[in-house]
Each structure stands twice: as C-alpha cells, then as structure tokens.
Amino acid sequence: MSETQIHVIARQMVERHGFEAIAQAAQMAQDCERKGDAEDARDWRHIEDAMKMMRGPHQS
C-alpha cells in the first residue's frame, strides 16, 4: 500500500471514529498477524502510526 493510501485511510478512520481508531488499527494488525497475513498487518501498523502522528505529541 502506498504512503498516500495509508494517510488517506488513517484520516478517514480518525474522521469517523476519532482517535479511538488507533486502537482499532492495532487490533486489525493483531488479527492479521494471528492469521499469518504479515503484509496486511504491516499496512495496519503503518495506518496506526499515521494516526498517532496526526494526534501529535502528548500534552501534560
């Protein structure tokens, strides 16, 4: 999956689900890993990372 696609999906997920979508992407990656689908798991991890970047640094 291209970087552009990763960021489009990440943005769409955040728009629909808020930053709770980060946990959803992590769960999808774990599900793919359990099924042995390393490529899809890697894509979900990239989507998760893209959403974390959108969220920005943690504030204290």
Model confidence over 1-45: pLDDT tens digits?
999 999 999 999 999 999 899 999 999 999 999 999 999 999 999
pTM: 0.88
**Could you tell me which residue, 16 or 55, shows the higher pLDDT?**
16
Q: What is the average per-residue pLDDT within 51-59? A: 81
Q: What is the pLDDT of residue 60?
A: 46
Q: What is the pLDDT of residue 6?
A: 96
Q: b/e map of 7-44 (b: 16 or more CB within 10 Å)?
A: bebbeebbeeeeeebbebbeebbeebeeeeeeebbebb
Q: What is the pLDDT of residue 57?
A: 75
